Amino acid sequence: MIRNNLKYFACGIAAAFVLFGVLYIRSADQNDITTENISHAENLIGLSFSEAQRDSMVDGLSQYRSSYEAIRAYALDNSIPPALTFDPIPVGYSWDIYNSGLDLEGLSDIQLPGDPDELAFYSIRELAGLIRTRQITSVQLTGFYLERLKKYDPVLECVITFTEERAMKKARQADEEIAAGHYRGSLHGIPYGIKDLFSTEGYKTTWGAVPFKEQMIDYDATVVQKLDEAGAVLVAKLTLGALAWGDVWFGGRTRNPWDTTQGSSGSSAGSAASVAAGLVPFAIGTETWGSIVSPATVNGVTGLRPTYGRVSRYGAMALSWSMDKVGPLTRNAEDAAIVFDAIFGPDEKDQTVYDFPFSYSSNVDLSELKIGYVKNDFESDYPFRSQDSLSLEVLRELGAELVPIELPDIPVSALSFILSAEAAAAFDNLTRSGRDSLMVRQIKNAWPNVFRQARFIPAVEYVNANRIRHKLIQEMYELTKQVDLYVAPSWQGPNLLLTNLTGHPCVVVPNGFTEQGTPTSISFTGRLFDEGTILSVAYQFQKATGYHKKHPSLDI
């Protein structure tokens, strides 16, 4: 499920409509509210009132319902946020991050390889070296990746729309600018793909779902605009699980290039699979609750989930206003730093984006860092335990001081309905119109049912969950002051949901393989707005291990 200044309390009020208004969503004749109705609703929410108390509520609840109907009659596009905002910054927060830009590792002369398959897995910096030295043009490179996308898409089902006309125009422009001496930087002329929940002028934005498969949002999302400004070349809009859940979309199921009998996980399924298979050098995804971390793990690529409020979501589908985040999927952590440097920061369109600096250095000394590790989770019994234990040893060998930590003792899983409530508000009209029946997945654990269930979440419970979330933010602030960053299993324990609720940044990198030959990963979590440190440490880890340089074999 898989996603900037402050995030919206979202559905607090909308969830309020939940308690009793939902009982009448399907009622054409709008029967009167009775004490019997109220009694039934009490059972749903675990409360009990006396008959006299129920009788006193009837008039007020009828007035509420009239208000709900008036609100429902007012058209609300998915792009309209709630006025209430989520703030990930704890009380007393201070920071010492300075904008020193990118300090990238030096590379020796890059040569064009004889084997095209080898070129497909070059990093951004290696490809940039080839373009800058005119060993290959952007037009040639763009055509090369478009050809690979077309060749392997029938197997991986990772592309929704090719943007070939736009891509070739941008590639020619890049070549002309570079030839004239106007070089914009490492992304100039580099092809990429984007998750198809970002709007792009002249192309459909389907959100991966049947009800929206013909949707045109005829302007470029901010992240697309920023990558255009950096000179990058958009070649394809990539698959996502329908409305950002899983890897099943209206055209099929996106496949894992390491094992095409398996799905790519979600919801940034096409972004991760395309990078893993060498179909694009990098891609843009989003995360709300694992939608970058999970597909990055399954596909063996590097994924950066930035701090909440770092990257504008203008032009992106809203799922959860207080949890959605935008980030890159790349070959390695340094590539992620390059892409992030191009897309972070305010745009005067998304009011939730903070203006904090970004600093990255490839030369971090791990002996100068105190790195926490979530002791209980690493010591529990879970599938990636052996790979994760070896990862801790690598960090020790690199000179890191590893400090055992424990995450706040707060019932994090109980807060997960925050996402459901906000998502149900974001797609309120889909539920009330009945068009949710067009969605491919209609099981209990799928959006149509979750949206309906969420209408029974009382506003009081939603607000109180966010009050607990505030306490969680404060406790995480105290914890992260004790270490420079910490490592955690990517899937084990509460860390994934917890840090999506608090807005902390995370980098996930491959750290081995299962017995079946599919990738595993480990996650580095940083302080708020300190993507630079976790990217630097992740890059050092990758240089010491080399798992990111292993690629799937795609025999067709």
CA distance linking residue 26 with residue 14, whole number of Å: 17
Q: Strand, coil or helix: what is 75?
A: coil
CA distance linking residue 295 with residue 78, whole number of Å: 25
Q: What is the CA 104 to chain-centroid distance, rounded?
A: 25
The catalytically annotated residue of 195, 226, 237, 325 is 195
Phi then psi dihedrals of residue 103, to 5 deg:
-110, 90
Calculate ∠ Cα 402-404-407, nearest 5°.
Answer: 130
Helix (H) or strand (E) holding 327: strand 325-330
| Cα dihedral 45, 432, 323, 476 in deg (nearest 10) | 0
Region of residue 318 (left: phi > 0; alpha: psi -120 to 50; beta: else): beta
Are residues 247 and 257 in contact, defined by beta-carbon separation less than 8 angstroms? no
Is 391 part of the annotated catalytic residue set?
no
**For tokens 């004749």, what's the residue?**
29
Q: At what angle do helices 138-156 and 269-276 cross, to 10 degrees?
A: 120
Residues for the chain: how many in total?
A: 556
CA distance linking residue 41 with residue 22, whole number of Å: 10
CA distance linking residue 28 with residue 58, whole number of Å: 19
What is the DSSP pairing of strand 370-374 with strand 485-489? parallel
Phi then psi dihedrals of residue 355, to 5 deg:
-105, 75
Is 437 part of the annotated catalytic residue set?
no
The catalytically annotated residue of 138, 186, 265, 267 is 267
The catalytically annotated residue of 123, 186, 265, 291 is 291
Are residues 347 and 314 in contact, defined by beta-carbon separation less than 8 angstroms? yes
What is the DSSP pairing of strand 370-374 with strand 101-103? unpaired
Tokens of 436: 């949710």
Q: Indicate the residue type of 432.
A: R
CA distance linking residue 170 with residue 137, whole number of Å: 12
Q: Is the peptide bond before 322 cis (omega within 30 degrees of 0)?
A: no
CA distance linking residue 277 with residue 147, whole number of Å: 13
Tokens of 124: 């951004």
Is 553 part of the annotated catalytic residue set?
no
Cα Rg, the chain, nearest whole Å: 24
Q: Is the peptide bond before 267 cis (omega within 30 degrees of 0)?
A: yes
Closest CA to 428 of 22, 2, 4: 22
Tokens of 295: 């597909």
By annotation, the residues acting in catalysis are 195, 267, 291
